[in-house]
Amino acid sequence: MRRVADMSTPHTRFSGQKRTKNPCVLSDRRLTYKHVTAHSIGFLLYHLAKHPEKQELLYKEIISFLPTKEAKLTKSNCCELKYLSACFKESLRLNPPVGGTARTLETDVVLSGYHVPAGTLLTVPYQELFTQEKYCKEPLKFIPERWLKGSENRPHPWAYLPFGQGCRSCMGKRLAKLQAILLISEIIRNFRVEYHLDDIGTKTMLVNSPDKPFRFNFIER
């Protein structure tokens, strides 16, 4: 994890890997596309419900761009929802859509004093990386403001890779973000979202899933 977070450029021996023929890895990638958006939206609603003051800030931003029920998101005003984008990023940091990224090493490397031979399938666990104090202040708290321009609390850029990085990053990351922005903006401007049950954690299988069902109360505004 230190190697991923501390590298200053993406051009390392980890970025030039050949395409894998590992059937487990390929199967994992296919299944990820189906669930990533639904789980990401669910976790974002959960965090907003658990932090009503953040939800209220988001509501004020949304109605400033969509003041009436008939107002629609456009390409221009969609990009202006900075706080919504920050909320989405912060939710992905706390609950990344997948467990991590994997690469098969082409050469031997030494990690934390351990010799790792070529041919080893190396996995970087995202949730462990994203919630380390040395890369992110107050890492277990939901603080969307850390992603706003000018924030001094912004996480290390290489310690936040929910969709991977480079030419083999998730091809659906922009679609997932757009879907989340469209749906969340409609929900929050029309409803106040509440959650009053036990805390929800992450269950990692092929993709990260909630360990309990999302059961929200939607109160019409």
Which residue ranges are tagged as binding site for heme? 170
CB contact burial 74-113 (16+ within 10 A = b; e otherwise): eeeebeebebbbbbbbbbbbbbbbbbbbebbbeeebeeee
Which contiguous run of DSSP H or E holds residue 82? helix 82-94
Separation between Cα atoms, residue 99 and residue 196, nearest integer Å: 27
The residues that bridge with 111 in the sheet, in sequence order, are 114
- Residues annotated within the binding site are 170
In angstroms, what is the C-alpha Rg of the chain? 19
Separation between Cα atoms, residue 69 and residue 66, nearest integer Å: 7
Separation between Cα atoms, residue 90 and residue 142, nearest integer Å: 7
